[in-house]
């Protein structure tokens, strides 16, 4: 996602991540490859994709008066803990999203991939402790929530969760990181308690919209990203928002079809049947509307944070990107 607010300090974040993960051992090589800092052969990558949560943290901190040099280490720590949690989930067969880079375990031994996730954790804590211990409780809260989200997902087992349960899962797995990004940025800027509360609510709402949007793109694809094809989540049997919404609102026959189609590796015919149910129930339109509604609720917190006019324009651009989709077949 190309946005000025993310691109402004991309190079600073890249340097910070490289510093935190310096070393020639295979685990750190794997960790840097997982983060898109270098290729699997060890060649540095200059054009790192800007990490959204980390970029959001630096944006908020700088906008509210903190120096970028204070915000970068906190942002690096947040990104490292997010990556460590996602990597361990991926190895355990519990992916929360379909990644755009090769899975770590696909180009290295599983033991090395696990170790790569392990080394990111102390690297994150060391990085943030060198800057500000004030943000540490917020950082750890988000990390704990992401781990609780993985435990919640496992607790579903073969049971299809209700839509309300899935929303609670997104709040833990995804929105907690956005909440932490915005709140940590405010803490670094010494924002008052009411502003911190608004920032936390804003970040969480933004994360909820982002999580549901990722689920939408996982089913219908992203025309701007060839590595995110249609039905990627369906083939990975990731029960995201569209599928759970269909299960929640469909007929008993729909539910049986969805259950059969996702028990094993779905065939092309299974995918067609699932997409047919989603189209008949107008699930794409419902999902898009839910994202826009979430963003409207989230925007209510913005007037209570002293953002500049230029920052408000950047947030407007972000909201526009999150709420704009390719034309739906259900129009």
Tens of pLDDT, residues 228-243: 789 998 988 888 999 9
* Cβ atoms of 234 and 93 closer than 8 Å: no
Which pTM was predicted?
0.92
From 278, 247, 263, 267, select the one nearest 158 (Cα to Cα): 263
Residue 290 CB partners (closer than 8 Å, separation 6+): 212, 241
- Distance in angstroms (rounded) separating the CA atoms of residues 103 and 116: 12
∠ Cα 197 201 204 (to 5°): 140
Ordered by start, the domain boundaries in the chain are 4-322
Give the pLDDT of residue 195.
Answer: 98
Q: What percent of the chain has pLDDT over 70?
A: 93
Give the pLDDT of residue 40.
Answer: 80
- Distance in angstroms (rounded) separating the CA atoms of residues 240 and 261: 15
- Distance in angstroms (rounded) separating the CA atoms of residues 259 and 160: 9
- Distance in angstroms (rounded) separating the CA atoms of residues 300 and 295: 9
* Cβ atoms of 88 and 117 closer than 8 Å: yes
Give the pLDDT of residue 95.
Answer: 52
Give the pLDDT of residue 238.
Answer: 83
Tens of pLDDT, residues 43-91: 888 877 878 999 999 999 999 999 999 999 999 999 999 999 999 988 8
Q: Which fold would CATH assign to domain 4-322?
A: Farnesyl Diphosphate Synthase (1.10.600)
State yes or no: pLDDT of 330 exceeds 50: no
∠ Cα 256 149 200 (to 5°): 125
∠ Cα 265 233 14 (to 5°): 130
From 3, 158, 134, 144, select the one nearest 71 (Cα to Cα): 134
* Cβ atoms of 177 and 142 closer than 8 Å: yes
Tens of pLDDT, residues 91-105: 887 654 444 454 555
* Cβ atoms of 68 and 62 closer than 8 Å: yes
Tens of pLDDT, residues 135-185: 999 999 999 999 999 999 889 888 899 999 999 999 999 999 999 999 999
Residue 132 CB partners (closer than 8 Å, separation 6+): 70, 74, 187, 188
- Distance in angstroms (rounded) separating the CA atoms of residues 48 and 37: 6
Give the pLDDT of residue 329.
Answer: 45
More confident residue, 107 or 36: 36
Q: Tell me how far CA of residue 139 lies from CA of 144, 202, 325, in angstroms.
A: 9, 16, 32
Q: Tell me how far CA of residue 90 lies from CA of 168, 205, 317, in angstroms.
A: 20, 25, 31
State yes or no: pLDDT of 302 exceeds 50: yes
Secondary structure (3-state) at 119: helix
């Amino acid at each position: 996602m190309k946005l000025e607010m993310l691109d402004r300090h991309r190079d600073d974040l890249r340097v910070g991540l490289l510093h935190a993960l310096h070393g020639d051992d295979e685990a750190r090589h794997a960790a840097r490859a997982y983060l898109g800092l270098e290729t699997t052969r060890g060649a540095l990558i200059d054009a790192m994709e800007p990490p959204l949560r980390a970029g959001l943290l630096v944006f908020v901190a700088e906008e509210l008066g903190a120096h970028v040099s204070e915000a970068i280490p906190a942002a690096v720590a947040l990104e490292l803990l997010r990556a460590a949690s996602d990597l361990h989930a991926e190895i355990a067969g519990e992916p929360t999203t379909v990644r755009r880079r090769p899975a770590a375990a696909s180009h290295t031994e599983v033991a090395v991939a696990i170790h790569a996730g392990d080394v990111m954790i102390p690297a994150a804590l060391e990085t943030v402790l060198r800057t500000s211990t004030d943000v540490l409780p917020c950082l750890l809260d988000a990390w704990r929530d992401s781990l609780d989200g993985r435990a919640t997902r496992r607790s579903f087992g073969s049971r299809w969760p209700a839509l309300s349960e899935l929303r609670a899962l997104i709040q833990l797995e995804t929105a907690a990181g956005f909440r932490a990004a915005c709140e940590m940025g405010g803490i670094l800027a010494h924002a008052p308690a009411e502003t911190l509360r608004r920032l936390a609510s804003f970040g969480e709402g933004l994360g909820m919209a982002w999580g549901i949007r990722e689920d939408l793109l996982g089913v219908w694809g992203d025309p701007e990203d060839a590595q995110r094809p249609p039905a990627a989540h369906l083939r990975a049997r990731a029960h995201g928002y569209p599928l759970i919404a269909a299960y929640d609102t469909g007929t008993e026959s729909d539910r049986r079809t969805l259950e059969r189609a996702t028990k094993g590796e779905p065939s092309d015919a299974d995918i067609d049947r699932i997409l047919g149910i989603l189209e008949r129930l107008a699930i794409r339109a419902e999902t898009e509307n839910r994202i826009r509604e979430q963003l409207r609720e989230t925007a209510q917190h913005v007037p209570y944070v002293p953002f500049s006019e230029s920052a408000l324009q950047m947030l407007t651009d972000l909201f526009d990107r999150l709420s704009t989709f390719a034309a739906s077949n259900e129009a």
